[in-house]
A and B are shown apart, each in its own frame.
Chain A
Amino acid sequence: MFHKQSHLYKSNDMAATFAFLKDVRPFKTAWKVQVKVIHSWRQNTENTVETLELVLSDSMSKQIHAPVLNLSKVIDESNQTDSHSEFGTSSCSSGINAEIEFNLGRGRAKNTMAVNLTAEAIAKMLNGEVASENDMTPVLQVTELKMIQSKLNQNHESSNRYKITLSDGILSQQGMLNASLNSLVVQGSIQLGSILKLTRFVCNRVQTRRIVVVADVEILVEKCDIIGTCVQSGSPNEPGRSSVFDQQRSGMGSVITQQSNGCGFEQQQAKRTDLNGGRYGASAYSPQPQVVHNSPDAVRYSVSANLPQPQVVHNSSEVGRYGLPANSPQPQVAHNSSDAGRYGGANLAQPQVGYNSSDAGRYGVPASSPQRQVGQRYGTGSGYSETSPSTRPYGSSNAGYGGSRLEQPRAPPATTAYSRPVQSSYQPQPPPMYVNRGPVARNEAPPRITPISALNPYQGRWTIKVRVTCKGVLRRFSNTRGEGKLFSFDLLDSGGGEIRVTCFNDVVDQFFDQIVVGNVYLISRGSLKPAQKNFNHLHNDYEIHLDSASTIQQCYEDDPTIPRHQFHFRNVGDIENMESNSITDLIGIVSSISPSVSIMRKNQTEVLKRSLQLKDMSGRSVEFTMWGDFCNAEGQKLQMLCDSGASPVLAVKAGRISEFNGKQVSTIGSSQLFIEPDFPEARELREWYDREGRNAHFTSISREFTGAGRQEVRKVITQIKDDKLGTSEKPDWITVCATISFMKVENFCYTACPNMNGDRPCSKKVTNNGDGTWRCEKCDKSVEECDYRYILQIQLQDHTGLTWATAFQEAGEEIIGISAKDLYYIKYEHQEEEKFEDIIRSVTFSKYIFKLKIKEETYSDEQRVKATVVKAEKINYSSDTRFMLEAMDKLRTGDANSLPVKLESSNYRSDALNSGIGTSGTRDTASVDARREFGLPAANQVGQYGNQYAGPISGITSCNACGSNGHVSANCPSLMSEPQGQYTQGRYTGGGTPRQHVGGY
Chain B
Amino acid sequence: MDTTSPAVFVNGALLRRYIGQKVRAVIQVIRSEIGSVVGKSTDDQQIVVKGSPQPPLTSYLEVIGIAESDNTIRAEVWTNFGDSFDAQNYNELCKLANGEFRHLFI
Partner of B89, one of A882, A960, A975, A987: A882
Q: How many Å from the CB of A990 to the closest CB on chain B?
A: 15
B31 at the interface (CB under 8 A from A): no
Tell me which residues from 949 to 986 in chain A have a Cβ below 8 Å from any Cβ of chain B.
Answer: 960-961, 969-970, 972, 975-979, 983, 985-986
Q: How many Å from the CB of B3 to the closest CB on chain A?
A: 13
Q: How large is the interface on B (under 10, 10 to 19, 20 to 34, 35 or more residues)?
A: 10 to 19
- Chain B residues within 8 Å of A878, by CB: 86, 89
With a 10 A CB-CB cut-off, give which of A878, A961, A1000 has the most chain B CB atoms.
A878
Q: How many Å from the CB of A401 to the closest CB on chain B?
A: 98
Q: Secondary structure at chain B's binding surface: helix, strand, loop or mixed?
A: helix
B92 at the interface (CB under 8 A from A): yes
18 residue pairs from A and B, CB less than 8 Å apart: A878-B89, A881-B92, A882-B86, A892-B100, A960-B100, A961-B99, A970-B95, A972-B99, A975-B98, A975-B99, A976-B14, A979-B99, A983-B99, A983-B103, A985-B101, A985-B104, A987-B104, A1001-B103
Q: How many Å from the CB of B95 to the closest CB on chain A?
A: 6
The answer for the CA separation of A970 and B91 in the assembled complex, in Å, is 9
Cross-chain contact A975 with B102 (CB below 8 angstroms): no
Q: How many Å from the CB of A168 to the closest CB on chain B?
A: 84
Tell me which residues from 70 to 106 in chain B have a Cβ below 8 Å from any Cβ of chain A.
Answer: 86, 88-89, 92, 95-96, 98-104
A390 at the interface (CB under 8 A from B): no
- Chain B residues within 8 Å of A985, by CB: 101, 103-104
Which residue from chain A places its CB closest to the CB of B43 in the assembled complex? Answer: A976
The answer for the CA separation of A888 and B95 in the assembled complex, in Å, is 13
Tell me which residues from 30 to 61 in chain B have a Cβ below 8 Å from any Cβ of chain A.
Answer: none
The answer for the CA separation of A944 and B99 in the assembled complex, in Å, is 11
- Chain A residues within 8 Å of B86, by CB: 878, 881-882
Contacts A979-B98, A987-B104 supplied; 4 other A-B pairs, CB < 8 Å: A881-B89, A976-B13, A978-B16, A986-B100
A885 at the interface (CB under 8 A from B): yes
The answer for the CA separation of A888 and B100 in the assembled complex, in Å, is 11
- Chain A residues within 8 Å of B104, by CB: 985, 987
The answer for the CA separation of A888 and B13 in the assembled complex, in Å, is 22
Q: How many Å from the CB of B79 to the closest CB on chain A?
A: 17
The answer for the CA separation of A969 and B102 in the assembled complex, in Å, is 14
Which residue from chain B places its CB closest to the CB of A974 in the assembled complex? Answer: B99
Cross-chain contact B17 with A975 (CB below 8 angstroms): no
Count how many chain A residues have C-beta atoms less than 8 Å from C-beta atoms of the other chain.
24
Cross-chain contact B102 with A978 (CB below 8 angstroms): no
Which residue from chain B places its CB closest to the CB of A983 in the assembled complex? Answer: B102
The answer for the CA separation of A952 and B7 in the assembled complex, in Å, is 37
- Chain A residues within 8 Å of B16, by CB: 978
The answer for the CA separation of A47 and B86 in the assembled complex, in Å, is 67
- Chain A residues within 8 Å of B89, by CB: 878, 881-882, 885
The answer for the CA separation of A977 and B104 in the assembled complex, in Å, is 20
Which residue from chain A places its CB closest to the CB of B89 in the assembled complex? Answer: A881
Which residue from chain A places its CB closest to the CB of B90 in the assembled complex? Answer: A881
Cross-chain contact A983 with B100 (CB below 8 angstroms): yes
Cross-chain contact B92 with A1000 (CB below 8 angstroms): no
The answer for the CA separation of A978 and B102 in the assembled complex, in Å, is 13
Which residue from chain B places its CB closest to the CB of A878 in the assembled complex? Answer: B86
- Chain A residues within 8 Å of B98, by CB: 975, 979
The answer for the CA separation of A985 and B102 in the assembled complex, in Å, is 8
Cross-chain contact A1000 with B100 (CB below 8 angstroms): no
- Chain B residues within 8 Å of A986, by CB: 100-101
**Known A885-B89, A885-B92, A987-B104; contact A969-B13, beta-carbon cutoff 8 A:** no
Q: How many Å from the CB of B8 to the closest CB on chain A?
A: 13
- Chain B residues within 8 Å of A881, by CB: 86, 89, 92
Q: How many Å from the CB of A608 to the closest CB on chain B?
A: 33
- Chain A residues within 8 Å of B99, by CB: 961, 969, 972, 975, 979, 983
The answer for the CA separation of A827 and B91 in the assembled complex, in Å, is 46
Cross-chain contact B103 with A970 (CB below 8 angstroms): no
The answer for the CA separation of A969 and B16 in the assembled complex, in Å, is 20
The answer for the CA separation of A888 and B16 in the assembled complex, in Å, is 27
Partner of A1000, one of B17, B95, B101, B103: B103
The answer for the CA separation of A1000 and B89 in the assembled complex, in Å, is 27
The answer for the CA separation of A878 and B95 in the assembled complex, in Å, is 17
The answer for the CA separation of A712 and B100 in the assembled complex, in Å, is 29
The answer for the CA separation of A983 and B97 in the assembled complex, in Å, is 11
The answer for the CA separation of A620 and B75 in the assembled complex, in Å, is 48
Which residue from chain A places its CB closest to the CB of B104 in the assembled complex? Answer: A987
The answer for the CA separation of A1001 and B98 in the assembled complex, in Å, is 12
Cross-chain contact A969 with B103 (CB below 8 angstroms): no
- Chain B residues within 8 Å of A888, by CB: 96
The answer for the CA separation of A786 and B55 in the assembled complex, in Å, is 55
Q: How many Å from the CB of A214 to the closest CB on chain B?
A: 90
Q: How many Å from the CB of B104 to the closest CB on chain A?
A: 7
Q: How many Å from the CB of B20 to the closest CB on chain A?
A: 14
Tell me which residues from 871 to 914 in chain A have a Cβ below 8 Å from any Cβ of chain B.
Answer: 878, 881-882, 885, 888, 892
The answer for the CA separation of A1001 and B99 in the assembled complex, in Å, is 12
Partner of A944, one of B92, B96, B100: B100
Q: How many Å from the CB of B63 to the closest CB on chain A?
A: 21
- Chain B residues within 8 Å of A977, by CB: 13
- Chain B residues within 8 Å of A892, by CB: 100
The answer for the CA separation of A977 and B99 in the assembled complex, in Å, is 11
**Known A960-B100, A983-B103; contact A970-B92, beta-carbon cutoff 8 A:** yes
- Chain A residues within 8 Å of B13, by CB: 976-977
The answer for the CA separation of A892 and B14 in the assembled complex, in Å, is 22
Q: How many Å from the CB of B59 to the closest CB on chain A?
A: 15
Q: Could you give, for residues 2-15 of chain B, a 1 whenever the CB lies within 8 Å of some chain A CB and a 0 otherwise?
A: 00000000000110
With a 10 A CB-CB cut-off, give which of B14, B86, B98, B103 has the most chain A CB atoms.
B103
Partner of B17, one of A885, A970, A978: A978
The answer for the CA separation of A972 and B99 in the assembled complex, in Å, is 10
With a 10 A CB-CB cut-off, give which of B86, B92, B102 has the most chain A CB atoms.
B92
Q: How many Å from the CB of B90 to the closest CB on chain A?
A: 9
- Chain B residues within 8 Å of A975, by CB: 95, 98-99
Which residue from chain A places its CB closest to the CB of B86 in the assembled complex? Answer: A878
Q: How many Å from the CB of A880 to the closest CB on chain B?
A: 10
The answer for the CA separation of A983 and B98 in the assembled complex, in Å, is 10
The answer for the CA separation of A960 and B100 in the assembled complex, in Å, is 8
Q: Could you give, for residues 736-771 of chain A, a 1 whenever the CB lies within 8 Å of some chain B CB and a 0 otherwise?
A: 000000000000000000000000000000000000
Which residue from chain B places its CB closest to the CB of A885 in the assembled complex? Answer: B92
- Chain B residues within 8 Å of A970, by CB: 92, 95-96
Q: How many Å from the CB of A977 to the closest CB on chain B?
A: 8
The answer for the CA separation of A961 and B95 in the assembled complex, in Å, is 11
The answer for the CA separation of A977 and B14 in the assembled complex, in Å, is 7
Q: How many Å from the CB of A699 to the closest CB on chain B?
A: 22
Which residue from chain B places its CB closest to the CB of A977 in the assembled complex? Answer: B13
- Chain B residues within 8 Å of A885, by CB: 89, 92
The answer for the CA separation of A590 and B92 in the assembled complex, in Å, is 26
Q: How many Å from the CB of A788 to the closest CB on chain B?
A: 37
Q: How many Å from the CB of A572 to the closest CB on chain B?
A: 29
Which are the 4 A-B pairs with shortest beta-carbon distances?
A1001-B103, A878-B86, A976-B13, A881-B89
Cross-chain contact A1001 with B100 (CB below 8 angstroms): no
- Chain A residues within 8 Å of B103, by CB: 983, 985, 998, 1000-1001
- Chain B residues within 8 Å of A979, by CB: 98-99
The answer for the CA separation of A970 and B99 in the assembled complex, in Å, is 9
The answer for the CA separation of A985 and B103 in the assembled complex, in Å, is 7
Which residue from chain B places its CB closest to the CB of A984 in the assembled complex? Answer: B100
Which residue from chain B places its CB closest to the CB of A889 in the assembled complex? Answer: B92
Q: How many Å from the CB of B43 to the closest CB on chain A?
A: 8
- Chain B residues within 8 Å of A1000, by CB: 103
- Chain B residues within 8 Å of A1001, by CB: 102-103
The answer for the CA separation of A888 and B88 in the assembled complex, in Å, is 16
The answer for the CA separation of A526 and B95 in the assembled complex, in Å, is 71
The answer for the CA separation of A977 and B96 in the assembled complex, in Å, is 14
- Chain B residues within 8 Å of A882, by CB: 86, 88-89
The answer for the CA separation of A888 and B89 in the assembled complex, in Å, is 13
Which residue from chain B places its CB closest to the CB of A998 in the assembled complex? Answer: B103
- Chain A residues within 8 Å of B17, by CB: 978
Which residue from chain A places its CB closest to the CB of B85 in the assembled complex? Answer: A878
